[in-house]
Amino acid sequence: MTEPIILSSASLRCEIKPELGGCIAGLWLGDIPVLRSTPASALVSVRLAGSYPLVPFSNRVGHATLKWQGTSHPLVQNNGPEPHAIHGLGWQRPWQVLDQDDQLLMLACEHRADVSWPFAFDASQTFRLSGNTLELTLSMTNQAPTPAPAGLGWHPYFVKRSRSHIAFEAAGRWEMSDEKLPTHRQPSRGLDTDCTPLDVDHCFDGWRGEVLLQDELLRTRITSSLDRLVVFTNGTRDFVAIEPVSHVNNAINLMQAGAGRAEDLGVRVLAPGESMSVQMNIQVERMQ
């Protein structure tokens, strides 16, 4: 069993559980949780983690069937009774430690083609604490002998407090069906609103790469190299999921159905041996 790993700086503490989906169990500024946080030694389910990686796709592949270059590939329905494949597979696989010190951790995960995903790939994560910032990098390399679709992102759950307020700029929002699949795109300027009454589970595109989340205790700035963002919360949730992602939900199937071009939907196609890499930073400070 891989030991939980604790990174610490003067301001932040981050606990990571490599064997449990390479997830962040918790992130704290002093004794204040930034993410939904559990000590790594006590965390037993990645679905209760503070954050986990999304690789080789984010959100859902509709009805657990990947349609790619004229072929339908059945995937595993990997989230209980839900009929879709969701959040890739990295969150359900153990990751191996490549390097670590007090403020740095590098993890790797190797996938060989199977029923969860028909294309082999290697993935890596880097976690670095620098002052009051957690810096994250996520990468993957196509190890299949043919070009393969690829997507990356993160699924962090930020604590929703009584005065939580979210603000970010975007260009559009994808509306969702009752099946939690995107139907069409509407213009959207993003969000600038209190989180308590918010009911949202949408992908925004044209995101400017920055979110400000602040409440009575913390001001948190989330920045990323990505330009799409999934936001999920409602009145029954004590968190706000703020997820930088590389593509629209169900993007590969939307593209194959002629509902958009690869570049508009964010679908990357990696040649054999080609890689992609994305970044996200979480910067935290106390409210004065």
Check residue 257 and give its pLDDT. Answer: 87
Task: Indicate the pTM of the whole model.
Answer: 0.97
In this prediction, residue 2 has a pLDDT band, given cuts at 50, 70 and 90, of: low
Q: Which region among 36-40, 215-219, 231-235, 252-256 has the lowest average model confidence (pLDDT)?
A: 252-256
Residue of 223, 225, 243 whose CA lies nearest to 233: 243
* Token duo for residue 187: 């213009």
Q: How far apart are CA 8 and CA 4, in angstroms?
A: 13
Check residue 228 and give its pLDDT. Answer: 98
* Token duo for residue 245: 């992602």
Give me the long-range contacts of 1-4 (CB less than 8 A, separation at least 24).
2/94, 2/97, 4/39, 4/40, 4/41
| The 133-142 sheet, strands edge to edge | 96-100, 104-111, 121-130, 133-142, 275-286, 218-224, 210-214, 165-169, 190-194
pLDDT digits (tens, 9 = 90+) for 42-94: 999 999 999 999 999 999 999 999 999 999 999 999 998 999 999 999 999 99
Check residue 4 and give its pLDDT. Answer: 81
In this prediction, residue 1 has a pLDDT band, given cuts at 50, 70 and 90, of: low
Query: What are the phi and psi torsion angles at 92 (to 5°)?
Result: -110, 10
The vertex-146 CA angle with 87 and 258, nearest 5°, equals 60
State the CB neighbour count (10 A cutoff) for residue 285.
15
Query: What are the phi and psi torsion angles at 195 (to 5°)?
Result: -85, -25
Q: How far apart are CA 202 and CA 214, in angstroms?
A: 21
Are 245 and 211 in contact, with CB atoms under 8 Å apart? no
Check residue 28 and give its pLDDT. Answer: 98
| Stronger pLDDT, 70 or 210, i.e. the higher one | 210
In this prediction, residue 208 has a pLDDT band, given cuts at 50, 70 and 90, of: very high
Q: How far apart are CA 161 and CA 248, in angstroms?
A: 28
Are 268 and 140 in contact, with CB atoms under 8 Å apart? no
CATH code that applies to domain 53-286 = 2.70.98.10
The full 3-state SS of 94-147, as one line of letters, equals CCEEEEECCCEEEEEEEECCECCECCCEEEEEEEEEECCEEEEEEEEEECCCCC
* 168 membership: H or E segment, kind and range: strand 165-169
Please report, to the nearest 10 degrees, the dihedral formed by the alpha carbons of residues 72, 73, 76, 81 taken in order.
Answer: 0
Q: Quickly tell me which residue has 């989330």 as its tokens.
A: 222
Arithmetic mean of pLDDT over the chain: 96
Check residue 288 and give its pLDDT. Answer: 77
Check residue 251 and give its pLDDT. Answer: 97
